[in-house]
Amino acid sequence: MKYLKLQLLLLLVLITLISCKSENELKAQKVTKDYVSFIDSVRKGDNDHAIANWSAIAREYDMKLIKLNLEIDKLEDNTIFDKKINAATAQYESFRNKIFEKKLSLEKEQESIL
């Protein structure tokens, strides 16, 4: 009887650990998808709108990145998400640089007009 109780207790602990892990992975997967979707929507949007509202875009990006890092840090093995995150981050940084270049060229044009 004691052996049966011990087995049931061990099974319960194992199920709890597995469900926690899968719950954390599901949260990380959702946050990663949200992060990638945000970056895709920003990149595919209007550049003039992005230039005019860059501070709001940057704030939202920072919030999504913080949320993503909090969820990813809960995982023991986050390598499955690294590829998506790194690709999206590289796309965001490339887009950010392009927007900054356009913003600088617009400012130079305005200065030359004055």
* pTM for the model: 0.77
Q: Is pLDDT larger for residue 65 or for residue 4? A: 65
For 86-103, give the secondary structure using H, E and C.
HHHHHHHHHHHHHHHHHH
pLDDT tens profile 92-101: 999 999 999 9
- pLDDT, residue 62, reads 96
Which residue would you say has higher pLDDT here, 60 or 25?
60
Name residue 4's amino acid: L
Q: Which residues lie below 8 Å from residue 107, measured CB to CB, with a gap of 6+?
A: none
Q: Can you give the pLDDT at residue 78?
A: 83
CA-nearest of 60, 85, 57 to 71 is: 85
pLDDT at position 19, please? 62
Q: Cβ(82)–Cβ(29) under 8 Å? A: no
pLDDT of residue 53: 93
Give the tens place of pLDDT for each residue, 29-66. Answer: 999 999 999 999 999 989 999 999 999 999 999 999 99
% of the chain beyond a pLDDT of 70: 82
